Structure 1
Amino acid sequence: MIEKKFLKSKPICKVKFSLPKSQVQAAKTVTVVGDFNNWDISATPLKKQKTGNFAATIDLDIHKEYQFRYVLDGKEWINDEEADRFVPANIGSEQNGLLSI
């Protein structure tokens, strides 16, 4: 799930990335990677919630598009079905989610 909250005082959007327990299965770690953190799998970890879901909120500049994916346990890459759209990842037939802010 993706939630966008645009700030009135700054050209920033607070974006909350979250994955339900059912989608992460038995993963112990979940991170979100993308253009905004140079695809660094350790830069933006999602925190496990009491419900078993994982979530993190980051600030992104408005009027931009960002490619992103989630990484489970440092090795399994998955997409968020709620991405604004999908674009080729230039790795085989893989696709990245795209956020329009």
Structure 2
Amino acid sequence: MSLKKQTLKSRPVCKVTFRVTKEAAKDAKTIHIVGDFNDWNETATAMKALKSGDFTAMLELDTSKAAYEFRYLYDGKVWENDWEADAYVANSEGTENSVVNV
């Protein structure tokens, strides 16, 4: 798993590329990225499956907010965090959410 960030000088956004490696995907057929940037909608942001077996998605996040919470949802059933997130915060389910700082 990894996060790559690019802050744009022309607009107040940070392009964040989220990547789940084949090993981390654990044979998932679909992975969605779910977070406060899409109101925790479990189907709003599908990640693209690559030929390598990795999954990726690029989001433009508004830099007026310093950080966003998110998790990955595998096959609509299994929640996973990003092992390389900038931070983790407790959630109402008794687990943690990943955090990306922009």
Q: Give the TM interval when normalised to the shorter protein.
A: over 0.9
Q: How does 1:40-51 map to 2 (within 5 A)?
A: 40-51=41-52
Q: How far, CA to CA, are the matches of 2:13 and 2:64 in structure 1?
A: 9
Aligned to 2:18: 17
Aligned to 1:91: 93
Offset of residue 63 of structure 1: 4.0
Offset of residue 99 of structure 1: 1.1
List structure 1 runs of 4+ shifted beyond 3 angstroms.
Answer: none
Structure 2 residue 101 is matched with structure 1 residue 100: yes
Aligned to 2:57: 56
Q: CA RMSD in A?
A: 0.8
Could you list the runs of 5+ residues in structure 1 that have no partner in the other structure? none
Q: Deviations 1:45-83 (Å, cap 9, x if unpaired)?
A: 000011110001011011421100000000100000111
Q: How far, CA to CA, are the matches of 1:49 and 1:61 in structure 2?
A: 26
| Aligned sequence identity (%) | 45
Could you list the runs of 5+ residues in structure 2 that have no partner in the other structure? none
Q: TM-score, normalised by structure 2?
A: 0.95
